[in-house]
Structure 1
């Protein structure tokens, strides 16, 4: 029994020491996922992302909160809005519905609301101010 206790203690210490390693691995996985535009999948849940990244939902949620200082939903919305702004710059003629869909938003109204909250103006006004 004493051996079991020592094994457990040693394993717990090793896991704690590996935390920076796990964080570095997670950072690498998330970067790859972002580079592949994984966040534009409409309706994406933290459970689906944790499955893709081969981790558990609780760890991923804590990692995002600690690393990005925001919730999963806020983080995904921010990524999608940056993506939408890049599309607008490259294709200023795109209509808002198509822009919302291609950026991963489930509805035009949700996209406009999120965009306005983050940028302080509608996508149309942002386009005028930044591209003309």
Structure 2
């Protein structure tokens, strides 16, 4: 029943299992899929949306959307540092953003500067 499932999902073992599943998903760069929804991720992790949303909020102290954006920005930073020839549009696409302008705006909000400026600073 739903009640039993809710109780089971509240155990430390269940949280540890979820942490393992999420780590595996992050290590496989699952977050770079464009248009990813919490419903899709909950399906991949074999859990429900409500539990996953609460888990992310409690564990990472942010919403699903902000958590995914943060993961994508960190991924983009690795690409910016590793592949100086990749364009910002390429990095935006490879990191799972739907448009370069959206990527640049979110990157600025997160990193405090544009991707181009961040790359230059890292290269020095």
Q: TM-score, normalised by structure 1?
A: 0.87
Structure number with bigger Rg: 1
The answer as to 2:92 corresponding to 1:100 is yes
DSSP-derived class of the 2:113 partner: coil
- In the superposition, relative to structure 1, how do residues 45 and 35 fare at CA in structure 2: closer, same or farther (>3 Å)? same
2:97 match: secondary structure:
coil
Structure 1 unmatched runs, 5+: 1-10
Match 1:20 to one of 12, 21, 31: 12
Q: Kindly report the root-mean-square deviation, in angstroms, between the aligned alpha carbons of the 2 structures.
A: 1.5
Residue 125 in structure 1 maps to residue 113 in structure 2: no
Residues 20-53 of structure 1 deviation map (CA, whole Å, 9 limit, x = unaligned): 1110010000000000000000000000000000
Deviations 1:66-111 (A, max 9, x none): 0000000000000000000001111011101000000000010110
Matches for 1:13-52 after TM superposition, within 5 Å: 15=7, 19-52=11-44
- Number of aligned positions between the proteins: 120
How far, CA to CA, are the matches of 1:17 and 1:47 in structure 2?
17
Residue pair 2:9, 2:51 contacting (<8 A) in 1 also: no
TM-score normalised to structure 2 length? 0.92
Structure 1 runs of 4+ with >2 Å offset: 15-18
